[in-house]
Structure 1
């Protein structure tokens, strides 16, 4: 019985190792998508959790929302970018005006104002552009 279990384990490991993620044949990638608009409170209440809505333009039928890249920088500065999961293939269709809205929750844990920088792409010189909001906090 132990030999059968061992052989089954070895066969299973062989199957999994043949599907290695290191073989560089991925049919997808992740891509930052510029943020078009943001809906958020004009001010926060200390200790509360607030919902922030972000709208972006989906470039093709092969793009789908993956998550947000959320960076907590020095002090109360937050940088947010939309990340899309993009599948490869010839059946992708370009989209003209397909806007998607995603939300995230933000917990206010400090009584100092917060600065949010929402990534909007790069300018002609390759510099990152941001939509910037400064939000005060009520105690």
Structure 2
């Protein structure tokens, strides 16, 4: 007969965080794309506080439609310094693989009913 003991400890000192989306305030795209080209797209958003750290994009792809928002990690600290009008710029590369037009839906936040608001920009492939 033998006995196996196992224990684990939950570390309550681990830093707590959650993920949060930020609205895209401005998107800078070319007027048109060429098939098989790669283009830099610039997005601007307001960083709410020092505890909000850019963590990439929320990026959903369906046919030629791209839905995009800014994804942040938000550290749950008591000493978060709020930023006033801290406009931050990020870029990503977009590779054109289809003919027709691409529709970019940039998330702008929610309305008073909690419904998502999007700015749609159509870019033709020529």
1:48 aligned to 37, 55, 66, which one?
37
Give ranges in structure 1 of 5+ residues lacking alignment.
1-12
> Aligned residues, how many?
120
**What's the counterpart of residue 86 of structure 2?**
98
1: CA distance, partners of 2:52 / 2:102: 31
Structure 1 counterpart of 2:3? none
Alpha-carbon RMSD across the aligned residues, in angstroms, is 1.9
1:32 is aligned to 2:21? yes
* Alignment partners' CA distance in 2, 1:40 and 1:104: 11
Give how far 1:18 is off: 3.5
Answer yes or no: is 1:87 the counterpart of 2:75. Answer: yes
Cα 1:122/1:46, change in 2 over 3 Å: same
2:15/2:75 contact within 8 Å kept: no
Q: CA deviation at 1:19?
A: 5.3
Correspondence for 1:125 among 91, 110, 113: 113
1:83 Cα deviation after fit: 0.3
- Tell me, yes or no, if structure 1 residue 136 matches structure 2 residue 124: yes
For structure 2, the residue ranges without an aligned partner over 5 or more in a row are 1-5
Deviation per CA, 1:103-133: give whole Å up to 9, x if none: 1111000111000001010011111001110
Q: State how far apart, in whole Å, the 2-side matches of 1:76 and 1:91 are.
A: 43
Report the counterpart of residue 71 of structure 1 in structure 2. 60
**C-alpha separation in 2, matches of 1:132 and 1:65:** 23
Residue number among 47, 50, 59 corresponding to 1:58 in the alignment:
47
Deviating runs (4+, > 2 A) in structure 1?
A: 17-20
C-alpha separation in 2, matches of 1:79 and 1:26: 31
Between Structure 1 and Structure 2, whose CA radius of gyration is higher?
1
